[in-house]
Amino acid sequence: MRRLRNRSEFLRVARGSRVGRSAFSLQTNDSDAPEPGMGFTVTKQAGNSPERNRIRRRLRAAARACATQLVSQHDYVLVGRRDALSIKFDRLVADLAAAIPKVHARKKN
């Protein structure tokens, strides 16, 4: 799984389909790269710097746990929310595992 780091990559993924959960929002779009790409972002509204970093770390760990479900030639962005700090990690992984097929089922109109 490769990491998305450039703003242009995040903006391209934001134009794709998305699905929301209490702890995160998952966005995806097609990509030319053969392996899936993953990006993580947390806005300042989610808390101060240590809280945002902790949210990002939990989302990265959940994404690693669900890496086998990611579809090749797609990029994903996880937008973290404050609830990612308070829910159990098992539920976070289960929510992400359920969101991946759902985001592919949705077509942007």
DSSP letter for each residue of 52-106: HHHHHHHHHHHHHHTGGGSPTTEEEEEEE-GGGGTS-HHHHHHHHHHHHHHHHH-
Split into its structural domains, the chain has a count of 1
Confidence of residue 1 (pLDDT cuts 50, 70, 90): confident
State residue 107's pLDDT score: 59
High-pLDDT (> 90) share of the chain, % = 92
User: Taking the model in full, what pTM does it have?
Assistant: 0.91
The CATH number of the domain holding residue 21 is 3.30.230.10
- pLDDT tens digits along 22-67: 999 999 999 998 999 999 999 999 999 999 999 999 999 999 999 9
- What mean pLDDT value characterizes the chain? 93
68, amino acid identity: T
pLDDT surpasses 70 at 77: yes
Domain that holds residue 11: 2-105
